[in-house]
Structure 1
Amino acid sequence: MNILLWHVHGSWTTAFVQGPHTYLVPVTPDRGPDGRGRAETFTWPSSVREVTPAELAAAPVDLVVLQRPHEERLAAEWLGGRRPGRDVPAVYLEHNTPRGDVPDSRHPAADRPDLTLVHVTHFNRLFWDNGSTRTAVIEHGVVDPGHLYTGRLPRAAVVVNEPVRRRRYVGTDLLPGLSEAVPLDVFGMRTEGLAEELGLPADRCRSADLPQRQLHAAMAERRLYLHPVRWTSLGLSLLEAMHLGMPVVVLATTEAVEAVPAGTGVLSTRPEELARAARRYLADPEAAARDGARARQAALERYGLKRFLDDWERLITEVRS
């Protein structure tokens, strides 16, 4: 089966393309947002094929996975007039929490009898106004990086993209207070200058943009994973940290309350509780390792790759029937 999808979310796509199909990923000369092609920092199988808009016009496509509102128009143009949901089976995959007038935010794919709207968390489905569109939830799956945790560095790993621009959404405003409890190593896209922006000493807040193949090893050297995200969907970095065997200290918002069971770390809406937990893990490496081992087991059971791919296979069969 040939599945057309745009390279929008690298981590999610890395799991999705582990399935048994051929994945057609648009590529344009500038490799911009609508034509990134294959990932450069993630490992994708050979079943992921780059296709130009011109090649798509005659390409056999069995399913379109839409992820952004304008992709429906692009797909119709690039597929030679074949319309997603009408001429070609289609699903709309929503990665994000709603913005604007929550909980009255209306989804762009609301009231579409020709589409299935797939959410990555139950929280997202609950908070979006989906109208009459058929909905499904397929929770994240993660390619297991292995139990790499050593925790040898008495610091916390934080993974957020664009922390300066996104500020309150990703909890950047909480980092100064938390850095008083535990030194922070912030990984992600466009993290440069973060310590200066927050007025923090360099030893209390370091930042780096690492390729995926180096990120997991770097995270696993830190004593704990800190997830200060206030309002985004369930971060795959949190699930990856749990797979690595890291204890997690997590702001109890959105779907995190479902993802982090008891004994795997600490969940709280109170930053002072997160700071207290971080101090405890710094002082007790053995407790950190025990909680991290339980976190790994919980993540494998709920967010394992096989369950994720099986869920998608069932949905694809239903959509195409």
Structure 2
Amino acid sequence: MRILLWHVHGSWTTSFVQGRHDYLLPVTPDRGPDGLGRARTWDWPTSVREVPSEELASEPVDLVVLQRPHELELAARWLGRRPGEDVPAVYVEHNTPMGDVPDTRHPLADQRAIPIAHVTGFNDLMWDAGEARTVVIDHGIVDPGLRYTGELDHAAVVVNDPVRRGRSVGADLVPVLADAVPVDLFGMRVDQMPQQAGLTTYEDLPQEQMHSELARRRVYAHLSRWTSLGLSLLEAMHLGMPVVAMAATEAPRAVVPGTGELVTSPAALVEAVRRLVDDPERATETGRAARQHVLERYGLKRFLDDWDAVLEEAAR
């Protein structure tokens, strides 16, 4: 199958394009948000091909994977075919709803032509999709391998654009944690965070390098209050890292007993991270359990098999 999709979420796309299909990614001269093309910091297979936006109309596309509402109009204009009418389509909902939760209406609510694929059960529960067809496809991760050493008694945090996204990603909790233990913050635009003692930022590392660096830290802290399940959390668990996460959205289904700790207050966050930082043996044991759990629940094969079933049904 020849699938058109936009490069929106690099980590999710990295897993999705490991499948058996051909993947077409629009590219624009400025490589802006609607035409990023191939990733620069992830390793993608040769089955992922960049296509200039002005050439898409001549491409034989079998199905469109949509991830943002305005891509409906983009696909219709660039392909000359309307998703859900002239070409099959699936809409991937990556995000938790904003606004009048739990009454937030999904942009594709009530239509029946395009199924909505939620990346977590929590998202499916909280979005009001009306009569639209929905399905949940849990995340799957390309296994980076067991790399954990925990040699640095630091907490690792990964978040993109923390200053702009603020409380939803727990940006305000970073300085609270850094007052108690050394914190190493990874991601895009993390250098915009106010500097303080105990906080070190690592800006936009290639994924392979970031995984190796994360694994040197004693514990992974997942600070998000209101986002979908962060793939960086699952990647850290795959690395064999023990985790401490805010008990919000989908995190309680990912961090099960024995794999880390779930907390609901800043004080509990600091205490849980300190316990693991101060006990390397416990941290190692917890991280091994975390890796075993995510290999079973968030493995790549299950993810791709689930997606193939949805794609095949949509293409009929």
Confirm or deny a common fold (TM above 0.5). yes
Cα distance in 1, alignment partners of residues 194 and 219 from structure 2: 20
Aligned-residue offset at 1:272: 1.6
Partner Cα separation in structure 2 for residue 180 and residue 35 of structure 1: 41
Given that 1:195 and 1:205 are in contact with CA atoms closer than 8 Å, whether structure 2 keeps it comes out as no
TM-superposed CA distance for 1:195, in Å, is 3.8
Equivalent residue letter for 2:82: R
Partner of 2:206 in structure 1?
A: 211
The runs of 4+ residues in structure 1 deviating greater than 6 Å are: none
1:224–1:247: 8 Å Cα contact kept in structure 2? Answer: yes
Query: Which residue number in structure 2 is paired with residue 150 of structure 1?
Result: 149
Alignment deviations for residues 200-219 of structure 1 (CA, whole Å, 9 cap, x no partner) = 21xx1111111212100000
- Once residues 224 and 30 of structure 2 are traced to their aligned partners in structure 1, the CA distance between those partners, rounded to angstroms, is 32
The unaligned stretches of length 5 or more in structure 1 are: none
What residue number does 2:308 align with?
A: 313
Match of 2:159 in 1: 160
State the secondary structure of the residue aligned to 2:306: helix
Equivalences for 1:185-200 in 2 at 5 Å?
Answer: 185-196=184-195, 200=196
Q: Secondary structure at the match of 2:58?
A: coil
Q: What is the CA-CA distance between 1:193 and the residue it aligns to?
A: 3.9
Answering whether residue 216 of structure 2 is matched by residue 221 of structure 1, we say: yes
Aligned position for 1:99: 98
Structure 1 residue 45: Cα displacement: 0.2
Q: What residue number does 1:84 align with?
A: 83
Displacement of 1:181 after TM fit?
Answer: 2.6
Matched, 1:22 2:22: yes
**Structure 2 residues not aligned, in runs of 5+:** none
State TM-score, norm by structure 1.
Answer: 0.96
Shift of 1:40: 0.6
The percentage of counterpart residues that share the same residue type is 64
C-alpha distance in 1, partners of 2:172/2:40? 31
Inter-partner Cα distance in structure 2 for 1:16 and 1:187: 23
Match of 1:65 in 2: 65
User: More displaced, 113-122 or 273-282?
Assistant: 273-282
* Residues 97 and 124 in structure 1, CA contact (< 8 A), matched pair in contact too: yes
What residue number does 2:272 align with? 277
Secondary structure in 2 aligned to 1:186? strand
Cα distance in 2 between the residues matched to 1:171 and 1:179? 13
Q: Tell me the equivalent position of 2:138.
A: 139
CA distance in 2, matches of 1:48, 1:95: 21
Q: Does 1:53 find its partner at 2:20? A: no
Q: How far did residue 278 of structure 1 move?
A: 1.2
| Alignment of 1:173 onto 2:168 | no
Q: Aligned equivalents of 2:241 and 2:170: distance in 1?
A: 20
Kindly tell me the number of residue pairs found equivalent between the two proteins. 315
Q: RMSD of the TM alignment (CA)?
A: 0.9
Call closer, same or farther: CA 1:276–1:32 in 2, change over 3 Å: same
TM-score, normalised to structure 2, is: 0.98
Q: Specify the code of the residue in structure 1 equivalent to 2:45.
A: P
Q: Aligned letter for 2:10? A: G
Matched, 1:115 2:110: no
What is residue 75 of structure 2 aligned with on the other side?
Answer: 75
- Equivalent position of 2:11 in the other structure: 11
Q: Distance in 2 between matches of 1:305 and 1:154?
A: 31
Q: Secondary structure at the match of 2:218?
A: strand
For the residues of structure 2 that align with 1:175 and 1:44, how far apart are their CA atoms? 32
